Structure 1
Amino acid sequence: MLTKDQRRTILGSNRHLNRMPTGVIDAIAEQAEVLDFAKGAVIFNRKDSSVKCYILVSGHVSHPEVQAAEEQFSIARETTTQGQLFGWAAAVDGLPERIISARCDVPTRVLAFDGKWFQDLCRSHGEPGLRALQDLVRSYAGHERKIGGRHGWLSLRNVQKVYDPLGKATVAVDGCSIEIRPGEFCAIVGPSGCGKSTLLNAVAGFDTITDGEILLDGECINSTKIMPKPGPDRIVVFQHGALFPWATVLENMIRGPIVQGKMTKAQATKRARELLAQVGLSTIEDRYPAGMSSGMCRRVEIVRALMNDPRVILLDEPFRGLDALTKTVVHNALLDMYEMNRKTVLFITHDLEEAIYLADRVLVMTTRPGSIKQTIFVDLPRPRPTELLGKEEFLQLKDEAIAAVHEEAVKAFEAGEREMA
Structure 2
Amino acid sequence: MLSTHERVSLLRANIHLGRGPAKLLEELAEAAEELSFAKGEVVFSRRDPSIYFYVLVNGHVSHPEVQAAEEQFAIARETTAPGQLFGWGAAVEGMPIRIISARCDEPTRVLAIDGKWFQARCRAHGEPGLNTLQGLVRAFAGHERNIVGRRGWLSIRSVQKVYDPFGKSVVAVDSCSVEIRPGEFCAIVGPSGCGKSTLLNAVAGFDTITSGEIYLDGQCINSATMKAQPGPDRIVVFQHGALFPWATVLENMIRGPIVQKKMNKHQAIQKARELLARVGLSKVENLYPTDMSSGMCRRVEIVRALMNDPRVILLDEPFRGLDALTKTVVHNALLEIYEMERKTILFITHDLEEAIYLADRVLVMTTRPGSIKQTIFVDLPRPRPTELLGQPEFLQLKENAIGAVHEEAVKAFEAGEREMA
| Same fold per superposition (TM over 0.5) | yes
Structure 2: distance between partners of 1:36 and 1:67: 23
User: Cα gap change, 1:417/1:292 in structure 2, threshold over 3 Å: closer, same or farther?
Assistant: farther
Q: Does 1:411 align with 2:377?
A: no
5+ residue gaps, structure 1, are none
Q: CA deviation at 1:417?
A: 7.2
User: Cα gap change, 1:119/1:189 in structure 2, threshold over 3 Å: closer, same or farther?
Assistant: same
Structure 1: distance between partners of 2:284 and 2:172: 41
Asked if 2 retains the 8 angstrom alpha-carbon contact of 1:141 and 1:218, the reply is no
What residue is the counterpart of 2:89 in the other structure? 89
Structure 2: distance between partners of 1:260 and 1:48: 43
Asked if 2 retains the 8 angstrom alpha-carbon contact of 1:119 and 1:133, the reply is yes
Q: 1:89-108, aligned counterparts within 5 Å? A: 89-108=89-108
Asked if 1 retains the 8 angstrom alpha-carbon contact of 2:69 and 2:147, the reply is no
Asked if 2 retains the 8 angstrom alpha-carbon contact of 1:206 and 1:228, the reply is yes
Structure 1: distance between partners of 2:324 and 2:56: 54
Residues 36-87 of structure 1, C-alpha deviations (whole Å, 9 max, x = no match): 1222222112222322110011221110011379999872111111111111
What residue is the counterpart of 1:240 in the other structure? 240
Residues 239-258 of structure 1, C-alpha deviations (whole Å, 9 max, x = no match): 00000111110011111111
Asked if 2 retains the 8 angstrom alpha-carbon contact of 1:156 and 1:179, the reply is yes
- Identical positions, percent: 78
Structure 1: distance between partners of 2:398 and 2:69: 44
When structure 1 is superposed on structure 2, of 5-14 and 219-228 the one drifting more is 5-14
Asked if 2 retains the 8 angstrom alpha-carbon contact of 1:388 and 1:394, the reply is yes
What residue is the counterpart of 2:346 in the other structure? 346
Structure 2: distance between partners of 1:200 and 1:151: 18
| Matched residue SS, 1:415 | helix
Q: CA deviation at 1:108?
A: 1.5
Q: Does 1:18 align with 2:18?
A: yes
Q: Does 1:285 align with 2:289?
A: no
Which TM-score applies when normalising by structure 2?
0.96
Asked if 2 retains the 8 angstrom alpha-carbon contact of 1:184 and 1:345, the reply is yes
RMSD across aligned positions (CA): 1.7
Counterpart of 2:46 in structure 1: which amino acid? R
User: Cα gap change, 1:300/1:268 in structure 2, threshold over 3 Å: closer, same or farther?
Assistant: same
When structure 1 is superposed on structure 2, of 314-323 and 57-66 the one drifting more is 57-66
Asked if 2 retains the 8 angstrom alpha-carbon contact of 1:73 and 1:142, the reply is no
Q: Does 1:263 align with 2:257?
A: no
Q: CA deviation at 1:189?
A: 0.5
Q: CA deviation at 1:116?
A: 2.1
Residues 161-192 of structure 1, C-alpha deviations (whole Å, 9 max, x = no match): 11111111111111111111111100001110
User: Cα gap change, 1:211/1:72 in structure 2, threshold over 3 Å: closer, same or farther?
Assistant: farther
Structure 1: distance between partners of 2:336 and 2:275: 12
Structure 1: distance between partners of 2:267 and 2:185: 29
What residue is the counterpart of 1:180 in the other structure? 180
What residue is the counterpart of 1:311 in the other structure? 311
Counterpart of 1:283 in structure 2: which amino acid? K
Structure 2: distance between partners of 1:65 and 1:80: 17
Which TM-score applies when normalising by structure 1?
0.96
5+ residue gaps, structure 2, are none
Asked if 1 retains the 8 angstrom alpha-carbon contact of 2:203 and 2:222, the reply is yes
Q: Does 1:29 align with 2:25?
A: no
Structure 2: distance between partners of 1:292 and 1:238: 17
What residue is the counterpart of 2:395 in the other structure? 395
Structure 2: distance between partners of 1:132 and 1:385: 38
Q: 1:90-129, aligned counterparts within 5 Å? A: 90-129=90-129
| Matched residue SS, 2:67 | coil
Asked if 2 retains the 8 angstrom alpha-carbon contact of 1:74 and 1:139, the reply is no
| Matched residue SS, 1:83 | coil
What residue is the counterpart of 1:147 in the other structure? 147
Structure 2: distance between partners of 1:241 and 1:139: 37
When structure 1 is superposed on structure 2, of 55-64 and 234-243 the one drifting more is 55-64
Asked if 2 retains the 8 angstrom alpha-carbon contact of 1:69 and 1:75, the reply is no
Counterpart of 2:306 in structure 1: which amino acid? L
Counterpart of 1:370 in structure 2: which amino acid? G
What residue is the counterpart of 2:38 in the other structure? 38
Structure 2: distance between partners of 1:69 and 1:125: 37
User: Cα gap change, 1:68/1:228 in structure 2, threshold over 3 Å: closer, same or farther?
Assistant: farther
Counterpart of 1:203 in structure 2: which amino acid? V
When structure 1 is superposed on structure 2, of 249-258 and 101-110 the one drifting more is 101-110
What residue is the counterpart of 2:327 in the other structure? 327
| Equivalences, count | 418
Asked if 1 retains the 8 angstrom alpha-carbon contact of 2:138 and 2:179, the reply is no
Q: Following TM superposition, where does structure 1 have runs of at least 4 consecutive aligned residues deviating by more than 3 angstroms?
A: 67-74
Counterpart of 2:302 in structure 1: which amino acid? I
Structure 2: distance between partners of 1:71 and 1:132: 29
When structure 1 is superposed on structure 2, of 12-21 and 145-154 the one drifting more is 12-21
Structure 2: distance between partners of 1:369 and 1:49: 37
